Structure 1
Amino acid sequence: MVITQRRAAKIIPIAGGKGGVGKTEVCANLGVRLGQLGYDTILIDLDLGGSNLHSTLGLKNRHSGVGNFLSDKSVGFTNLIAPTPYPNLRFIPGDVLVAGTPNIVFSQKQSLIRHIEKLEADYILLDLGSGASNNVVDFFLLSNSGIVITSPHVGAVLNSYSFLKNTVFRFLMRAFAGQSEVERYLRKSIKERRPGNPVTVANVLGGMQELDPAFTAKARRYVNLLQPSIVLNLVRDGDDLNIAESLRDLTSNNLDVKLSTLGMLIHDEGLAASHRSSAPLTHSLPDSLFAVEIDRIAQKIVQSPEFPTLALATEMYSDSFELMKIESAEDLAELHEQLTRHERQDQTDAEEFIQILSQQKKQIHELKNTVRMLTMRDR
Structure 2
Amino acid sequence: MVIFVYFLVFGAAIGTGMVKPLLPLYLRGLGASAFEVGLLVSGFMLARSISSLLIGALSDRIGRTPFIVMGLLGLSLSTFALVFISNPHLVVLVRTLQGFFAGAVWPQLQILVGEASKRSFRSRAIGIYFIIGSLGMGIGSGLASLVLSLVTRYRSIPEQDAVKWVFVIAAFVVLLSMAFIREGKGERVKEKSTEGTFRLGAWIYVFGFFMGFILGLYNSIFLLHLKEFFGFNMRGVALLMFLFGLGGITFTYLISHMADKLDGMWVLRGIVAVAAFSSLFLPLTRSLTVSLILAFFILCAMRGFLPVSRSIVISSGGKKGTKVGALNSVSNLGSVVSPLIGGYAYDRLRIFGSRISIFLLLGVLILVILTVEVVGSLSRR
**TM-score with structure 1 length normalisation?**
0.34
Which structure would you say has the larger RCO, counting Cα contacts within 8 Å and 6 or more residues apart?
2
Larger radius of gyration: 1
More helix by share: 2
More strand by share: 1
**TM-score with structure 2 length normalisation?**
0.34
